[in-house]
C-alpha cells in the first residue's frame, strides 16, 4: 500500500486524478444520454408521421 502514499501531497494528487476520472465519465454519459434522447425522440416523431399517412 505504501506506493499509494504520495507523501504530504497524497490528497492533492489523488483528488486530482479522481476528479479527472469523474469528469471524463460525466462526458461519456452525457454524450450517450443525448444520443438516446435524440433516438427515442426520432422514433416517436417518425411513428406519428407514418401513422398519419
Partner 1 sequence: MWSFLHKLASPPHFYGISARMIPWFYAAGLLAVAYGSVAGLFYAPADEEMNDGFRIIYVHVPAAFISMSAYMVMAIGAGIGLIWRMKLAHAVAAGAAPLGAWFTFLALITGSIWGRPMWGTWWEWGDPRLTSELLLLFLYFGYMALRAAIDDTAKADKASAVLALVGAVNIPIIHFSVEWWTSLHQGSTLLKSGGPAMHPDMLYPLLAMILGFALLFAALLLARVRTEVLHRERRTRWVRDLIMPAGEAA
Q: How far apart are CA 25 and CA 35, in angstroms?
A: 16
CA max distance for the chain: 70
3-class DSSP state for residue 1? coil
Q: How far is the CB of 22 from partner 1 (least distance, A)?
A: 9
In the stretch 23-52, what mask flags binding to partner 1 with x, by CB under 8 A? xx-xxx-xxx-xx--xx--xx-xxx--xx-
Least gap, CB of 25 to partner 1 (angstroms): 11
* Binding positions for partner 1, rule: CB under 8 A: 3, 6-10, 12-13, 15-17, 19-20, 23-24, 26-28, 30-32, 34-35, 38-39, 42-43, 45-47, 50-51
Amino acid at each position: 500500500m505504501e506506493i499509494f502514499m504520495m507523501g504530504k501531497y497524497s490528497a492533492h494528487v489523488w483528488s486530482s486524478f479522481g476528479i479527472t476520472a469523474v469528469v471524463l465519465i460525466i462526458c461519456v454519459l452525457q454524450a450517450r444520454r443525448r444520443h438516446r434522447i435524440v433516438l427515442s425522440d426520432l422514433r416517436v416523431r417518425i411513428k406519428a408521421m407514418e401513422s398519419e399517412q
